[in-house]
Amino acid sequence: MNTDFNPSGFAQKNGNFIGLPYNEEDAKIILLPVPWEATVSYAAGTADGPENIREASYQLDLFDADVLDAYKIGIFMKETDEEIKELSTISRELATMHIDNLENGHGVVQEFVDKVNANSNKVNSWVKEQCADLIKKGKVVGLIGGEHSTPLGYLHALSEKYSDFGILQIDAHCDLRKAYEGFTYSHASIFYNTLEEIPAVSKLVQVGIRDYCEEEVDYITNSNKRVEVFYDQAINESLFEGKSYRDICLSIVEKLPQHVYISFDIDGLWPNLCPNTGTPVAGGLSLPQAFYLLKTLAESGKTIIGFDLCEVGAAEEWDGNVGARVVYKMANLMGKTLGLI
């Protein structure tokens, strides 16, 4: 790290997150962009989410009242991989043709679906390799999507280090569908796939859920409490009836095991904080509510072992600005619970 660095100065556009003075070797937390959005079913653009976050991050100040000297933890954001981005563009064209066929009642071209599924497998393997390699080097990873299907490979890599961990998922959607629109590794299936493929994930706690289907409710009901949900409606009704938000956060955190991974879908927040996300839904958490929940987790004595932020749009800088704040807060709190500072 450059010792002349002034954490109160303006951010240098040096290619790194918030202009932080680290490289891949000396940083402890590595942000891995995954520019993949093949199966996005609604608004496109999240493949460029990581670069929007990087660009918007220069606007942020480094002071974090929850983690003093947070800038010293050492965060480095890797370059976007152009091959994955290209694969996303090709796959998204095939997926769009397939979804148009479905919506217009035309025959399904199985070749389109198979190709997208094959490319999803490639991305999952690439993410797993990247993350496993970083973990082997003693780094901690924050994955930045892309659509919400992107963390699967990372969760596989983590399961080789941690034999038992839980996931705190902030999201408008359960993402528990067994495939969606024919795509095995759909953004809407990330946690179905996670739970089916990774036994080390002993618990999934979902928060902010407000757009979901019967198949998902059945899956949750039959999960023997491996999945527990704090629906957006239930959270708000508890607040309206006088329960404190602190008590709600404590009951959420209580459900999680010692090691916790955070999966943050930006659409878990109010849509005015993520207007260009793939699938915006009215309602959700405010930013202070989300941050308070993360802080409650960090102060509970549990350890944050990794995180992702997905579905950040790229059509406007604002989405990147909010996304960058969410990434910084998760990285700082994770660094604190891991004793990196």
Q: Does 37 bind Mn ion (CB under 5 A)?
A: no
Q: Does 210 bind Mn ion (CB under 5 A)?
A: no
With contacts defined by CB under 5 A, name the span among 9-17, 82-90, 140-148, 317-325 that binds Mn ion.
140-148
Closest approach of Mn ion to the CB of residue 173, in Å:
5
Q: What is the 3-state secondary structure (H, E, C) of 245-303?
A: HHHHHHHHHHCCCCEEEEEEEHHHECHHHCCCCCCCCCCCECHHHHHHHHHHHHCCCCE
CA pseudo-torsion sign 144, 57, 285, 340: positive
CA proximity to 127, closest of 176, 194, 70, 55: 194
Q: Which amino acid is at 183?
A: F
With contacts defined by CB under 5 A, name the span among 43-51, 133-141, 147-155, 215-223 that binds Mn ion.
147-155
Q: Which amino acid is at 197?
A: E
Q: Does 175 bind Mn ion (CB under 5 A)?
A: yes
Q: Does 177 bind Mn ion (CB under 5 A)?
A: no
Which one, 51 or 171, has the nearer CB to Mn ion? Answer: 171
Q: How far out from the chain centre does Cα 193 lie?
A: 15
Which one, 186 or 321, has the nearer CB to Mn ion? Answer: 186
Q: Does 171 bind Mn ion (CB under 5 A)?
A: yes
Touching Mn ion, residues 240-269 (CB under 5 A):
265
CA proximity to 120, closest of 53, 170, 188: 188
Closest approach of Mn ion to the CB of residue 307, in Å:
14
Which one, 98 or 173, has the nearer CB to Mn ion? Answer: 173
> How far is it, in rounded angstroms, from Cα 153 to Cα 126?
7
Which of 148, 203, 210, 329 forms a contact with Mn ion (CB under 5 A)? 148
Q: For Mn ion, what does the binding mask look like between residues 264 and 293, x meaning CB under 5 A? A: -x----------------------------
Q: Which amino acid is at 90?
A: I
The binding site for Mn ion (CB under 5 A) comprises 148, 171, 173, 175, 265
